[in-house]
Each structure stands twice: as C-alpha cells, then as structure tokens.
Structure 1
Amino acid sequence: MKNIKRFRVLVMGRANAGKTTILQRVCNSTDKPKIFDGRGNKVHSYGVETYVETEYFKRGYHDIKHELVFRSNLGFVFHDSCGFEAGSAEQFEQMKEFVVDRATAGSVNERVHAIWFCIPMTESHRTVTAAELKFFNECDTKHVPVMVLLTKCDSLELEAIEELEDEGLEIEEAQEKIAEKERELLERWHAHIKHELDKCRYLPRGYVTLQKMHQESADCTVLIQSTANVMNEEGLQRLLISTQQSNILLCVHYAVWK
C-alpha cells in the first residue's frame, strides 16, 4: 500500500447531475480537468486539447478509460461514465467490463478505489430510473465501494415552496417553513431511493447528500469522510484522507482515531 500514488474514482450518473462541479470542489478548483489516455498522453480532438472543451462533458464525447486530473490536486484521478443512461447496450457492457477489470486490477495504482454514483434532485420525480436499476442489478461492484451521491439538493427549494402553497400557506408564512420542508423532502426522496436500491443485487455502501456545490466554498468533507469509512483497506482510507487538501482537521482526526 505504500506505493499507491493516486486515489482513483469512477464518477457515474446521468448527464447534468453536477459531476464535474463536485470533482472541482473536491480538488478545490474552478478549472476543467486535464484529460489523459491512461498512458500519460494528453487527449486531443481535431488538434485541440479536449480538456479545454466543454463539449467533452456532453454525451458522446467521453471515453471511460480516459483519466481526468486537476492541476490543483494531482493525488486524485477520475474516470467519467457520463450520461450512460442514454447509452447503447454496447456502451453499458463496456462500462461493466471497465468496473470489473479496474476493481480487481493486479496493480493497486490502476484499480478504481471507489465509485461515486450521482442522482440529481433536479429530477426528483424520476430519482430511480431503469438505468440506475440496471447498474445496481447487473454491474458487479463486490470489489469496489459505491457511494450514492444525491446532488443538486438545493433544487428542492422550489418543490418545497409549491408544496407549502398547496397546503394553503400564505407567501410570508411559507417563507418561514421552506428550510424545514426542504429537509422533509430530502429525507423522503432519500428514503425512496434507498428503498428501491435495496431491492437490487449489488447494493451501494452508503449515501451522501450534497448541497451548494455551485459555490466555490462548498465543503466536501462529508463526501470524503463517508467514502473513507466504507473502504475495506486501511491504506486506501489513509490515502483518500491525505489526498484531500481542504480539511486539515479531518486528516488530524482520522490519524488520531486510527
């Protein structure tokens, strides 16, 4: 474990789930990541480095084997299976093969150490689709921990306002109860998602709710700590905690706890 150099994460979920923003916050960056082909070569598209192209993050422009790295924190390397819910059966099989191969790779540096599966609350009416069920039923994740990330939770504010208005509250009175109603809605959708995924063959190891990720000061401590807590190997736990650079107290706490 002493030779592990980078913590490798596969980020999954439908398009527009806020995946790139989360990675930026984890790495304390506002830049787009650099993209490499796995052999250290920068990826190019029509003579232009792809990592400066927003188009890369749109459906059809990615390769799950490509490595995404942020200059601000070279200790993380990410893979993106973006927008897979609209992909072909062939793309799904490629993703499954990648997960199995990288979860059990002989070299620990080449392994995927964790999977972050994003479900956006902007689409709370379709939190668990056929795509999520297909992944958790068919993709063998026994050898890699999967964390479900409930993203864009701030979008529940509008839903909260609408429910309060339906209950007959006046605008001023509703304003006082929006935060409470948001928490209620988040708990409701969290419970629903867990209930549905608990029926699947391969269960996630945990759930994390993320809010205000659009703010540069957003705190990802709960994501890092929750991921570390479900790691089976202490060396990987230490690597993850030490790789994150935004919370020194977390490093100290974890070192003392261990």
Structure 2
Amino acid sequence: MLVQRSQQLSPTTNELLNICPRFRILVIGKTGIGKSSLINRAFGIKEAADGKRGYANIEKELISEQNDRFILHDSRGLEPGERVNYGAITSFIHRRRSHPDVKERLHAVWFCFQIPLVDHGERLMERGMEEFLRMKREVFGNVPTIFVFTKYDKLLDYIEGMSDDVEMDPEQQAEDYLKKYCIGPIQQLTKEHNIPPIAVTMRRGYELMHERLIELTFKEVSECFTAQLDEPSPVPVVTMIAQRMVPSLKIEGSIQVGRRRYWRALASSPNFRGYTIWDCLGVIHTDIISVWNFHDPSGVRLLLHHFHFGSVL
C-alpha cells in the first residue's frame, strides 16, 4: 500500500520540466573569440563545438550529453555584406521570441565580442554587426540579451605592459577601458544605457566573472518570463538547473521548487492524507537532485535515491 500511494506523488521538477525541459540560449559571435570555452565552463561540459570550425547553423539545436538541460544555438558574427546570415539570425529570433510554446521560445542571448586592443588597430565589431545592433530593439524585442566581452586576460596583460604608474590598479584601468571602447560604442548603437560590463577570461582566479554572467542572465530571464506568465514560469528554474557555475543559485532553485508544494505540505498534512513524511521527503530529495543537475553517467544518484527512499520510487 505504501508503494502504491507514494507513486501518486510527483516531484515538482517533473511538472516544470514537462513544460520547459531545457534552457534555450543563442550565442552570437565570431569564431575564435572564446564562445565554446565560455559555454563549456558555464554549463559544465567538455565540448560545445559542433560541425566545421567557422561554420554555424543557427537553426541546429546543440544538446550536450554531459548536460541535457540546455539547448545551444550558435551563430557566427556578421561580416560586411553577409545578408544571408543577417536574414537567418533575424528570422530565427522573430520566430522564437514569440513562440506560443514556452519551451520553444528563445530564453536568452549572449552577444560575444573579443575585447579589441585599439592601439593595435583592432575593432570591436565589423560594420555588419553595427548595422545589426542598431536594429536590436526591433529584432530582439524583450528577449534577455547580455553583452559578453572575452579575452579579458589579454587586456590586463596589455595594460600592465603599457602602464608606467605602479600605483594604478590594472583592473580599474581595464574597467575604464571596457566602458570607453566596448560599452560606449554599443550604447550608442542600441540607444540602451544600462549595459553592465561583463568581461570574461579563462585565466585562473577570475571565475567570479563567469559567475557574474550567470547571475545576470538568471536575473534578466526571471524578470522577463515571470512577468509574461500568470503561473510561476519554469524558465527561471530550468535556467538555474542548466548552469553549473553558481552554487547559490542551485540552493535558491531548490528552495523555490520546494515551496511550490511539498515543503509547505509537511506543515499541512490534510493535503497529503495517507502519505508519510518519508514519502514527502522522497520527492523533495528528487527535486533537489534535479535542480543540482549533476553529470552522472553511471547512475549513482538513482542507486542512492533507491537505497534511501526505495518506497517512493
């Protein structure tokens, strides 16, 4: 009897993930600027690249075996005169941003640019991208969009090599440089003035930059999708589940999921008449494991769950 009753309890994550099983993100940027490394670190996978180097089919859904809670759409940058790629990107975004099914919508966009060393004649972007950004509001609507500036370590090395003032903080100089040569030009093109300087590097000791990117993405996604739906949106939850950089978001996600039903139920037994606290703890345990989204090819999580909560499986 205990097994039969428990089978009627369904983890909250099952309901949410049935509505929206994956976080769908579009990453735009030229080949070679660090997009794959960024995705690999943010979502805890080994390899995000697919297909021939330098080629990206924006329509293709890239799903990693190491983390199947996100879908990556990749697009190369916009070189001058590349009307085909421009048309493909705008068509994709228009179709995805207002899709009636939330799991098919585009949940976030990362615009990736390599930080230019202007004294070396480098540009932030080509003219094709400049034209595209002038149309940002029309093309993207309210899709959460984050601008990411890569190769921050090269900027630091450049500043440290050029500065004669040992008292000047290289990171403060780098922040000023980003505002002038990266944020400023994008603000002029998009007419948006609340663009935070999100810079990233693969250099050890700067992992907080990636965490800040994840936190900002989650914040933008939450504000966008929570406001769109009468019921609590599954999109912020699956965003937390997909990322593997910020443990605090996992904890917050576990709490949010639990509050929807079972944790409140422990103090309201009439709603769960016929079930034991052990039954409720079993589904809470399942929800927590789902939110943390560990890569577990050997199925250790399932074995441990069965060992501790065998009656609720």
Distance 1:89 1:76, change over 3 A: same
Q: Cα offset for 1:163? A: 2.0
Residue in structure 1 matched with residue 53 of structure 2 by the alignment = 57
The code of the aligned residue for 2:53 comes to F
Which range moves more in the overlay, 16-25 or 234-243? 234-243
Determine the C-alpha separation between the residues in 2 that align with 1:249 and 1:63. Answer: 34
Distance 1:28 1:247, change over 3 A: same
Does the alignment pair 1:183 with 2:180?
no
The code of the aligned residue for 2:97 comes to A
The alignment partner of 2:62 has SS state of strand
Aligned length: 226
Q: Cα offset for 1:215? A: 5.5
Task: Looking at secondary structure, tell me which structure has more strand per residue.
Answer: 1
The code of the aligned residue for 1:84 comes to L
The alignment partner of 1:10 has SS state of strand
Distance 1:204 1:5, change over 3 A: farther
Once the two structures are superposed, residues 11-39 of structure 1 have per-residue CA deviations (whole angstroms, 9 ceiling, x without a partner) of 00122221011010012122345xxxxxx
Q: So what's the TM-score if we normalise by structure 2?
A: 0.63
Does the alignment pair 1:11 with 2:8?
no
Select 2:69's aligned residue among 75, 82, 89.
75
The alignment partner of 1:64 has SS state of coil
Once the two structures are superposed, residues 170-196 of structure 1 have per-residue CA deviations (whole angstroms, 9 ceiling, x without a partner) of xxxx5x75xx22431233223443222
Q: Is the 8 A contact 2:63 2:72 kept in 1?
A: yes
Once the two structures are superposed, residues 45-88 of structure 1 have per-residue CA deviations (whole angstroms, 9 ceiling, x without a partner) of xxxxxx3x5xx231xx3211011222221111111112333562
The code of the aligned residue for 1:221 comes to E
The alignment partner of 2:155 has SS state of helix
The code of the aligned residue for 1:243 comes to A
Determine the C-alpha separation between the residues in 1 that align with 2:153 and 2:68. Answer: 29
Q: Cα offset for 1:96? A: 1.0
Determine the C-alpha separation between the residues in 2 that align with 1:204 and 1:95. Answer: 24
Determine the C-alpha separation between the residues in 1 that align with 2:178 and 2:144. Answer: 22
Gaps of 5+ in 1: 34-50
Once the two structures are superposed, residues 118-166 of structure 1 have per-residue CA deviations (whole angstroms, 9 ceiling, x without a partner) of 11125554224423321211241113111000111011133213321xx
The alignment partner of 1:112 has SS state of coil
Determine the C-alpha separation between the residues in 2 that align with 1:202 and 1:66. Answer: 31
Distance 1:14 1:189, change over 3 A: same
Task: Looking at secondary structure, tell me which structure has more helix per residue.
Answer: 2
Gaps of 5+ in 2: 1-14, 227-232, 260-313
The alignment partner of 1:150 has SS state of strand
Determine the C-alpha separation between the residues in 1 that align with 2:238 and 2:195. Answer: 19
Residue in structure 1 matched with residue 91 of structure 2 by the alignment = 97
Does the alignment pair 1:22 with 2:19?
no
Q: Cα offset for 1:248? A: 2.6
Q: Is the 8 A contact 2:23 2:70 kept in 1?
A: yes
Distance 1:69 1:210, change over 3 A: farther
The alignment partner of 1:72 has SS state of coil
Residue in structure 1 matched with residue 188 of structure 2 by the alignment = 199
The code of the aligned residue for 1:68 comes to L
Distance 1:90 1:205, change over 3 A: farther
The code of the aligned residue for 1:62 comes to A
Does the alignment pair 1:222 with 2:212?
yes
Determine the C-alpha separation between the residues in 2 that align with 1:243 and 1:208. Answer: 23
Report the aligned-residue RMSD. Answer: 3.0
Determine the C-alpha separation between the residues in 2 that align with 1:218 and 1:148. Answer: 17
Q: Cα offset for 1:107? A: 1.7
Once the two structures are superposed, residues 206-255 of structure 1 have per-residue CA deviations (whole angstroms, 9 ceiling, x without a partner) of 43534332659945321111011112113222221232234332232466
The alignment partner of 1:79 has SS state of strand
Q: So what's the TM-score if we normalise by structure 1?
A: 0.75
Superposed, 1:1-258 pairs within 5 Å as 2=16, 3-33=19-49, 51=50, 56-58=52-54, 61-85=55-79, 88-124=82-118, 125-139=122-136, 140-164=139-163, 167=164, 174=166, 180-201=169-190, 203=192, 206-213=195-202, 218=207, 220-231=210-221, 232-234=224-226, 235=233, 236-253=235-252
